[in-house]
Amino acid sequence: MPTPDSPASAPPAPPGSLRRIVAASLIGTTIEWYDFFLYGSAAALVFNKLFFPDSDPLVGTLLSFLTYAVGFAARPVGALVFGHYGDRLGRKKLLILSLLMMGGATCAIGLLPTHATVGSAAPVLLTALRLLQGFALGGEWGGAVLLVSEHGDARRRGFWASWPQTGAPAGQLLATGVLSALTATLSDGAFESWGWRVPFLLSGVLVLVGLWIRLSVDESPVFKAALARAEARKAAAGGEDAAEKMPLVAVLRHHWRDVLIAMGARMAENISYYVITAFVLVYATSDHVDLGKQTALNAVLIASAVHFAVIPAWGALSDRVGRRPVYLLGAAGVGAWAFPFFLLIDTKGFPALVLAVTVGLVFHGAMYAPQAAFFSEMFATRMRYSGASIGAQFSSVAAGAPAPLIATALLADYNSATPIALYVIAAALLTLVAVGVAKETRDRDLAAVEPTSAPSPRSATEAAERTARSASAQ
């Protein structure tokens, strides 16, 4: 019979309940990524003119992407704060808060005055709201994937946990689709005047839908069981230990190696994604290629639909062959595709552009799909939100945040895609090393994962007996 210190697996949620939990995570992450990617697309298309009009076009784009990168800088802070309270209070409460914060910041961007109205205050306000977006998103990802991972059937955890991951392409699809429809129906003047505000304001409606669904789901049974065990230990010890007070400290003490592995695993996944979906809007519409922005948006739209479809398939494959083999395939794939990606775009044909972006995102999906289950299985329950969030979001500062900025700067300096391809290949090599040294996690029981350096109940008892014998001998 399980004791408070001997975790037992929580039974998987009933199929109907699990589908509702997956839907809650998917819809919430779709909305959050819609908000985040909407900013990235707008940064590439109009923000350089509306908020940085005194710069030449490419410098304006660089400044626009700099505010884009600021959102990534706030994500580790969000990971720390949301991870801490998510490990202490539960996944559900923090997910609701992150959704409200992200939606509020996005709606506010849609109401911002531009540089022409308030001068230099406009980019300052834009940057502040971008920071709030990043802070909220830093806490969103970990909670969403954990809610599904800790509810789901262990045998199909990779498949079920991959569904919140489809929120990224779904959000990209929604953001790009709305922008594409607006640019197709409005003149450039109308879009730059007021049309760009519409998709930001639509976020308010989406948040209400997501909030209604998230309020209807239950807290993770694995977390509730772990919380009960922690309370029992606290009562037995007569107080609360430091690990319970500061999950971050416990993560860095017991899971520092797993945090480093997660950060390395994210490098190729993060960098390749933002080069493929954000920088491509700059590259394809630059003088170097000179395709229309509508053409570039449509290519990303088609590729995002394929990306959405392949992520659950990659997740299911990770249940059969393991997380590491699928992840390694994706990292090797994006590295090998880096040069063909730009060569296809340089042909200036729409089918070639679609092929370049689609294949890139298919390889990306092989990393992104198993990532949710892979990272969840690395950490003990009472520090899982902190560990998964820290590993995922701290790497984004070095990976996704500067990726469009670095790629744009390299294009400006060299007028060639070769250094950008080498940049993606270097990230792929780093991820191959990180995942290559990781342990396979597919067969781990989330309820039984304990800190790697924590003493077992038996060893703790033996230590107490030795202490008692030593005291009596004295």
3-state SS string for the chain: CCCCCCCCCCCCCCHHHHHHHHHHHHHHHHHHHHHHHHHHHHHHHCHHHHCCCCCCHHHHHHHHHHHHHHHHHHHHHHHHHHHHHHHHHCHHHHHHHHHHHHHHHHHHHHCCCCHHHHCCHHHHHHHHHHHHHHHHHHHHHHHHHHHHHCCCCHHHHHHHHHHHHCHHHHHHHHHHHHHHHHHHHCCHHHHHHHHCHHHHHHHHHHHHHHHHHHCCCCCCHHHHHHHHHHHHHHHHHCCCCHHHHCHHHHHHHHCHHHHHHHHHHHHHHHHHHHHHHHHHHHHHHCCCCCCCHHHHHHHHHHHHHHHHHHHHHHHHHHHHHCHHHHHHHHHHHHHHHHHHHHHHHHCCCHHHHHHHHHHHHHHHHHHHHHHHHHHHCCCCHHHHHHHHHHHHHHHHHHCCCCHHHHHHHHHHHHCCCHHHHHHHHHHHHHHHHHHHCCCCCCCCCCCCCCCCCCCCHHHHHHHHHHHHHHHHHC
Is residue 366 within 8 A of residue 330, CB to CB? The reply is yes
pLDDT along the chain (474 residues), means of 10: 40 64 83 77 76 66 68 84 84 86 88 86 85 86 84 85 91 82 85 88 84 79 76 67 62 85 95 91 83 85 93 96 97 97 94 96 97 90 84 84 87 92 97 96 77 44 42 43
pLDDT at 463: 39
pLDDT at 138: 84
Q: Which residue has the tokens 């990168």?
A: 69
pLDDT at 326: 98
Q: Is 100 exposed, middle or buried (0-12, 13-18, 19+ CB in 10 A)?
A: middle
Is residue 219 within 8 A of residue 13, CB to CB? The reply is no
- As a whole number of angstroms, the distance between CA 82 and CA 140 comes to 8
pLDDT at 457: 41
pLDDT at 460: 40
Q: What are phi and psi of 459, to 5 degrees?
A: -65, -35
| Tokens found for residue 70 | 């600021």
- Neighbouring C-alpha atoms within 13 Å toward the C-beta of 120: 0
Q: Which residue has the tokens 């781990």?
A: 444
Is residue 284 within 8 A of residue 353, CB to CB? The reply is yes
Q: Which of 340, 342, 343, 323 is nearest to 269 (CA)?
A: 323
Q: Which of 130, 142, 72 is nearest to 101 (CA)?
A: 130
Q: At residue 45, what is the residue type?
A: L
Is residue 335 within 8 A of residue 429, CB to CB? The reply is yes
**Cα radius of gyration (the chain):** 23
Is residue 35 within 8 A of residue 68, CB to CB? The reply is no
pLDDT at 6: 37
- As a whole number of angstroms, the distance between CA 205 and CA 137 comes to 18
| Tokens found for residue 441 | 């996690």
